[in-house]
């Protein structure tokens, strides 16, 4: 049955949602934790689909791409909407877990208000989970400990890791219920003990729709004991945040943990979750259909509506943004101002280019005139649709807080990922009634694009295919800005760069099979960069036509996360170039300090856009050692620049500034350049008996720096989280009846956890080597850490490659 038919009779989302009943959430986790499996069950139990699909059979709703179906992994995030608890609307984005697709996660969490983090109960808190947790630090979260049916599942061990690694207190909403039947060798995970509602919930293993709910206060002694201790811990933790709860507990409930009513507890958990004081934790086994309905309740009960979500950060620190119960994030106190962020672009075979947007403020109508505050261009909004994975429902309006899609050629030509769109909520052509200085220039802070670390050479098979290859590459990078295309004028080669080997493999598949590019694709290479070691002298152009422009190039710290602490002067503005950690720095203009004094025909934004483009092009042309693109550099423009007053076309600014930046770079002596290579964080878990050979291989052949070897999966012993290690020790946690087996390899040897840093160059095709060293019993996870300078010996071997 087609998805369209499955959904044909279901509820439409064209009506205005009640903001307080809306939840925009993402499902995030390490690869294979069970995100798609859990999403599929949510769709089923919400009544959105009538049959459950499975990842392993390739028939889930959210993994609809052919490559997702055949590989059983999520590659792109997919959005679905459904209802729960009668009239709450949940807009959910299922994100990929593989590190190569991390940009999909970054751009999704940017527009979401809350997250469900799925953890594999056997693997615990894995490396990519830590990463996506940090990437979504603005969002309140709940955790779902999945795969409780697997032998070795450790609910309590995972909760402990969660507290200590993520530095969060937890609120256990439910805990696992195991039953030991005579025929079973190990206890069977059968359901949960609901600590809030004081119920025992058991799922029928044969019938996914049958649930048995009983009163936990009259259950067996062991359950009663766990209920009491679980509630005690929950109330004590919440009491640290919510005085009212403690007051009720002492005065009304007479100090009896079982007498605090569920509604009061839920309210308290909600408040503490929204304040990020606690993370509610639930458990289940989605594949066995256990625990999903309580998770849906928790999404509604504890995660924020758009009225409680953190406000969007904009480029105008003084522009007032506040929450309005009807309009969402009200900006500049203007009820007519509609502001949206484009966070994703895809090409649909039938509808063409589709731009996913989140409406932050106001109401968006199909056919309205809109303004792209990143490009400074006006355009018409075409059709609007709401996504249900790859099925789309046409609507005439997108309301505040909603996630929807813009379709049509004008949108395709005018909007890219990360752009802020502004329009008037009521008038079709109402841009003129908006404040041109603040409202039409408001930009929601950009979506950070991680740097590509691997490249392949792409060549057209015949010269006649060159144009179609370029078009196809354009489509690819437009959909996925974490892919990057560069052209080497000297060798005539086109390079496609991405986040990892799998990322490029999928890109190659798309290029050839979906975009029909007739191309030859070379083998995967590491992407090297160059940087400069000191500031260049200033370079000036002063022309008769009326141009004056002075630039210099400065080196920046190599690691992006240290950039925030770089002392930035209040006399300048930093514009990220969106690639290779490069920036344009504009000194405040000495003359044109306010909009009124601006004497040129061309807008300030158009000048900035031209300077950004020329900086990107010039820095991408590369350094003097091997013409690798320049990384961690800033182009600084002095605040005394001027242009001919009647200039209308930014192309001239672009041409002149590019020439100037290139001259500045060419004046840097060769010994001031260094080559950079990507370095990866490596997390490995191996049976103890294989540890020696794995470490020997890492240090002997791969230049790895071993950071730690632990028995547990790396809870840092640093001062920072001693407080949380203590909290983890004090937290009530039920016994883990099958956990001992979790730390045992198949031959009974215990597992070791290794953390290391290693140059990417030495890790190409590591998967096969690792598999043979551990006979498939270990696992490893690699994540981009940053760029490091290479020494002389290493440089000559890189250059000889």
Ligand X SMILES: Nc1nc2c(ncn2[C@@H]2O[C@H](COP(=O)(O)OP(=O)(O)OP(=O)(O)O)[C@@H](O)[C@H]2O)c(=O)[nH]1
Query: Is the Cβ–Cβ distance between 450 and 482 less than 8 Å?
Result: yes
Site residues (vs ligand X, CB under 6 A): 29, 31-37, 55-56, 73-74, 96-98, 146-147, 149-150, 285-288
Query: Is the Cβ–Cβ distance between 676 and 757 less than 8 Å?
Result: no
* Distance (Å, whole) CA 755 – CA 771: 18
Number of C-beta neighbours around residue 50 at 10 A = 12
Confirm or deny that 32 is annotated as ligand binding.
Answer: yes
Least Å from the CB of residue 297 to ligand X: 18
* Distance (Å, whole) CA 362 – CA 350: 30
Instruction: Report which secondary-structure segment, H or E, holds 552.
Output: strand 548-555
Confirm or deny that 98 is annotated as ligand binding.
Answer: yes
Q: At what angle do helices 292-302 and 262-274 cross, to 10 degrees?
A: 70
Confirm or deny that 120 is annotated as ligand binding.
Answer: no
389 phi/psi in degrees, rounded to 5: 55, -120
Tokens 């007032």 correspond to what residue? 320
Confirm or deny that 149 is annotated as ligand binding.
Answer: yes
CB closer to ligand X, 99 vs 398: 99
* Distance (Å, whole) CA 300 – CA 546: 61
Least Å from the CB of residue 219 to ligand X: 24
**Which residues are paired to 79 by β-bridges?**
93
Least Å from the CB of residue 344 to ligand X: 17
CB closer to ligand X, 31 vs 340: 31
- SS3 of 635, please? strand
Confirm or deny that 147 is annotated as ligand binding.
Answer: yes
Question: How many angstroms separate the Cα of 210 from the Cα of each of 203, 228, 320, 437, 782?
Answer: 6, 27, 51, 60, 41
* Distance (Å, whole) CA 13 – CA 395: 8
Confirm or deny that 546 is annotated as ligand binding.
Answer: no
- SS3 of 541, please? strand
Query: Is the Cβ–Cβ distance between 313 and 400 less than 8 Å?
Result: no
Confirm or deny that 622 is annotated as ligand binding.
Answer: no
* Distance (Å, whole) CA 437 – CA 598: 12
Question: How many angstroms separate the Cα of 101 from the Cα of each of 62, 449, 559, 786?
Answer: 16, 11, 20, 17
CB closer to ligand X, 147 vs 529: 147
- SS3 of 277, please? coil
Confirm or deny that 636 is annotated as ligand binding.
Answer: no
Confirm or deny that 95 is annotated as ligand binding.
Answer: yes
CB closer to ligand X, 35 vs 443: 35
CB closer to ligand X, 82 vs 101: 101
CB closer to ligand X, 135 vs 613: 135
Least Å from the CB of residue 205 to ligand X: 13
CB closer to ligand X, 290 vs 342: 290
Confirm or deny that 462 is annotated as ligand binding.
Answer: no
CB closer to ligand X, 298 vs 407: 298
Ranked by CB distance to ligand X, the top (closest) residue is 97
Least Å from the CB of residue 146 to ligand X: 5
* Distance (Å, whole) CA 302 – CA 299: 6
Least Å from the CB of residue 155 to ligand X: 13
Confirm or deny that 304 is annotated as ligand binding.
Answer: no
CB closer to ligand X, 32 vs 683: 32
Least Å from the CB of residue 708 to ligand X: 25
- Helical H runs in 154-283? 155-166, 221-239, 243-251, 262-274
* Distance (Å, whole) CA 78 – CA 76: 6
Question: 314: Cβ–Cβ under 8 A, 6 or more apart, which residues?
Answer: 321, 331, 442, 443, 444, 445
Least Å from the CB of residue 40 to ligand X: 8
Least Å from the CB of residue 251 to ligand X: 42
CB closer to ligand X, 45 vs 287: 287
Confirm or deny that 36 is annotated as ligand binding.
Answer: yes
Least Å from the CB of residue 558 to ligand X: 30
List residues forming the annotated binding site for GTP. Answer: 29-36, 94-98, 146-149
List residues forming the annotated binding site. Answer: 29-36, 94-98, 146-149
């Amino acid at each position: 049955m087609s998805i369209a038919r499955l959904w044909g009779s279901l509820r439409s989302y064209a009506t205005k949602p009640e903001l307080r009943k809306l939840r925009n959430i993402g499902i995030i986790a390490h690869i294979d934790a069970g995100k798609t499996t859990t999403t599929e069950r949510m769709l089923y139990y919400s009544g959105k689909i009538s049959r459950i699909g499975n990842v392993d059979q390739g028939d889930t709703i959210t993994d609809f791409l052919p490559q997702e179906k055949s590989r059983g992994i999520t590659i792109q995030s997919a959005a679905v909407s459904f209802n729960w608890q009668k009239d709450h609307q949940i807009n959910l984005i299922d994100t990929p877990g593989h590190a190569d697709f991390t940009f999909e996660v970054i751009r999704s969490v940017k527009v979401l208000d809350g997250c469900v983090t799925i953890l594999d109960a056997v693997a615990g808190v894995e490396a990519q989970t830590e990463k996506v947790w940090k990437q979504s630090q603005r969002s309140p979260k709940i955790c779902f400990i999945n795969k409780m049916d697997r032998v070795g599942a450790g609910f309590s061990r995972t909760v402990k890791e969660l507290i200590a690694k993520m530095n969060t207190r937890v609120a256990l909403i439910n805990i696992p219920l195991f039953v030991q039947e005579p025929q079973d060798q190990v206890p069977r995970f059968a359901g949960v003990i609901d600590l809030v509602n004081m119920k025992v919930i058991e799922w029928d293993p044969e019938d996914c729709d049958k649930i048995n709910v009983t009163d936990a206060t009259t259950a067996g002694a062991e359950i009663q004991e766990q209920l009491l201790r679980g509630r005690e811990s929950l109330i004590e933790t919440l009491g640290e945040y919510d005085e009212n709860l403690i007051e009720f507990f002492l005065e009304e409930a007479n100090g009896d943990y079982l007498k605090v009513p569920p509604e009061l507890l839920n309210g308290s958990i909600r408040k503490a979750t929204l304040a990020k004081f606690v993370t509610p934790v639930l458990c289940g086994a989605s594949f066995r259909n256990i625990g999903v309905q309580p998770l849906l309740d928790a999404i509604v009960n504890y995660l924020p509506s758009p009225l409680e979500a953190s406000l969007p950060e904009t480029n105008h620190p003084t522009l007032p943004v506040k929450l309005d119960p009807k309009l969402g994030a009200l900006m500049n106190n203007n009820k007519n101002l509609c502001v949206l962020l484009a966070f994703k672009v895809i090409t649909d075979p039938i509808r063409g280019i589709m731009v996913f947007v989140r409406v932050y403020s106001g109401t968006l109508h199909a056919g309205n005139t809109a303004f792209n505050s990143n490009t400074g261009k006006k355009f018409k909004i075409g059709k609007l649709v709401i996504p249900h994975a790859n099925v789309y429902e046409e609507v005439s309006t997108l309301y505040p807080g909603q996630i929807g899609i813009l379709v049509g050629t004008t949108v395709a030509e005018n909007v890219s990922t990360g752009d802020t769109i502004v329009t008037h909520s009521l008038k079709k052509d109402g841009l003129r009634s908006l404040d041109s200085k603040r409202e039409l220039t408001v930009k929601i802070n950009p979506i950070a694009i991680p740097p590509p670390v691997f490249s392949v050479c792409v060549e057209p098979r015949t010269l006649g295919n060159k144009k179609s290859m370029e078009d196809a590459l354009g489509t690819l990078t437009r959909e996925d800005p974490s892919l990057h295309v560069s052209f080497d004028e000297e060798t005539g080669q086109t390079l496609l760069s991405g986040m990892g080997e799998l990322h490029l493999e999928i890109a190659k598949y798309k290029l050839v099979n979906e975009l029909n590019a007739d191309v030859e694709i070379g083998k995967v290479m590491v992407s090297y960069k160059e940087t400069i070691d000191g500031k260049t002298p200033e370079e000036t152009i002063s022309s008769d036509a009326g141009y004056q422009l002075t630039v210099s190039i400065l080196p920046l710290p190599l690691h992006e996360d240290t950039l925030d602490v770089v002392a930035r002067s209040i006399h300048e503005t930093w514009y990220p170039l969106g690639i290779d950690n490069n920036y344009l720095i504009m000194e405040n203009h000495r003359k044109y300090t306010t909009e009124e004094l601006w004497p040129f025909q061309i807008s300030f934004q158009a000048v900035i856009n031209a300077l950004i483009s020329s900086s990107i092009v010039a820095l991408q042309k590369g350094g003097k050692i091997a013409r690798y693109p320049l990384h961690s550099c800033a182009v600084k423009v002095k605040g005394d620049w001027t242009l001919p007053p009647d200039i209308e076309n930014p192309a001239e600014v672009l041409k002149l500034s590019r020439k100037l930046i290139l001259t500045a770079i060419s004046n840097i002596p060769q010994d001031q350049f260094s080559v950079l290579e990507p370095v990866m964080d490596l997390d490995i878990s191996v049976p103890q008996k294989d540890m020696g050979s794995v470490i020997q291989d890492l240090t002997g052949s791969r230049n790895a720096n071993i950071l730690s070897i632990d028995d547990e999966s790396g809870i840092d012993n640093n001062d920072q989280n001693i407080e949380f290690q203590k909290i983890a020790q004090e937290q009530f946690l039920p016994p883990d009846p099958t956990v001992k087996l979790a730390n045992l390899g198949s031959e009974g040897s215990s597992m070791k956890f290794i953390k290391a840093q290693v140059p990417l160059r030495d890790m190409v095709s590591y998967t096969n080597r690792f598999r043979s060293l551990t006979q498939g019993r270990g696992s490893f996870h690699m994540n981009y850490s940053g760029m490091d300078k290479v020494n002389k010996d290493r440089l000559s071997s890189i250059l000889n490659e």
